[in-house]
Homo-oligomer: A and B are copies of this chain.
Amino acid sequence: MTGSNLCLPKVAVFGTSTVSRIIVNVLQQEGFQIEAIWGQTPEEAEFLSRELNIPYFTSRVDDVLLRKEVDLIVILCTPALHSQIAVKALGIGKHVIVQSPSGLNQDETLRMVQAAQYYPKLCSFLSNGLRFLPAVTKMKSAIQSGFIGARINLVDVRLNMGSIIGKKYSWLCDDVMGGGVLNVFGAHIIDLIHFLTEQSVTRVHGTVRTFTKTTKYIHGIRQIKSDDFVSFQMEMSGGTFASVTLSSQVCGFVQEFHVSGDEGRLIVRNGDLFGHQQDTSDEDIILFQDVSQCSSGLEDPLLPSIYLNGLSTMFSSLADLFRATAVDESNNAKFRSPSSDSKAKFATFNDAQHIQAVIEAIRTSSKERCWTKVITDDWWK
């Protein structure tokens, strides 16, 4: 800690889901004060404001954004609203954190990119906590120190989880609304591969499928249209090949993230890091074992423990960033741009646009059954 919590911006949270509750807890633990909560209905907002001791609640977007004491907007609601809330918030001079998927399509994300570029002194980040997961931080250092050799040949990722569809019909049931394992988890994985390899995705091949169209709770006229199985391969700008399988056809949650090069390999299995160098031993050795307990008592399939763990570390880094800025800068510049170094680890809206472009290319590839070039819209340039 480099300063007190007084220099932390006061927060408004959009969204009242279980994920919102968990993240409010995390924010409070990191010293952030939650000033306002927005819900789809006034009742939902009121319920949560009472439960979590949040002074102000509303179901009107502008009422939150216009509150002067609020300086950081955390957007966790249905993805259909992400882009418009983020763009408005930046325009009013608020810092913004947006949950993935960032928007419903590249157009929406592009508007966020433009807004972020227009207000470069404001923080505009994705809540991609995996980048901050301790095992991932160690993996990145190991890659940079040459543990696996000079270049990364292969990234091989597997996520197995239970259904992410809840008991009620919601945006999670429709990929056009931002639902499905590709939007919800694929976004994080694509970002993590981009972050670790420092390469962008050039071409993809993918198969996107919806196997479970009805459940005990969701049936009748409304069927599930969001994907529950995705397999995709990616060619990266630096020559790395990536292969990813996401399946919500099993129970529990297992994430394996393999990175291999000419001289070794690294594996993040859930929160633990394993490594192996060619010609040194037959066994994968544990390089880092996650012993952190990161539980708020609440659970949600959209926020497995490693994602929550990463998010906690991310919000802790964000708090440090604001404290460092407050110490560094003179008092009259209330929100100066935090230093580039400490910001570098956060996923930006530019990253969000790349993720969105990759996801769109994967869907096109699945439909057209061919390798598809990743096209990032940049008509604003």
A250 and B278 contact, CB distance less than 8 A = no
Q: How far in angstroms is the closest Cβ of chain B from A379?
A: 29
CB-contact partner of A265 in B156, B231, B249, under 8 A = B249
Contact with B along A144-180 (1 / 0, CB 8 A): 0000000001101010101000000000000000000
Q: How far is the CA of A252 from the CA of B256 in the complex (A)?
A: 15
What's the Cα separation between A146 and B165 when bound, in Å?
24
Chain A interface, DSSP helix/strand/loop, else mixed: strand
A336 CB within 8 Å of chain B: no
Does A267 lie at the interface of the complex (its beta carbon under 8 Å from any beta carbon of B)? Answer: yes
Is there a chain B Cβ closer than 8 Å to A243's Cβ?
yes
Nearest CB of B to A279, in Å: 5
Q: Are B371 and A371 in contact (CB under 8 A)?
A: no
Chain B residues near A250: list those with CB within 8 A: 258, 260, 265, 267, 276, 284
- Once bound together, how far apart are the Cα atoms of A276 and B265, in whole Å? 33
Q: How many residues of A contact B (CB 8 A)?
A: 38
Residue of B whose beta carbon sits closest to that of A370: B370
A207 contacts the other chain (Cβ, under 8 Å)?
A: yes
Q: How far is the CA of A156 from the CA of B153 in the complex (A)?
A: 24
* Complex: A284 Cα to B253 Cα, angstroms: 12
* 28 contacts across the A-B interface (CB closer than 8 A): A154-B209, A154-B211, A154-B229, A156-B247, A158-B158, A160-B258, A205-B205, A205-B207, A207-B233, A207-B241, A207-B243, A209-B241, A211-B260, A212-B278, A215-B278, A215-B279, A231-B231, A247-B258, A249-B258, A250-B265, A250-B267, A250-B276, A250-B284, A252-B284, A369-B370, A369-B371, A370-B370, A370-B371
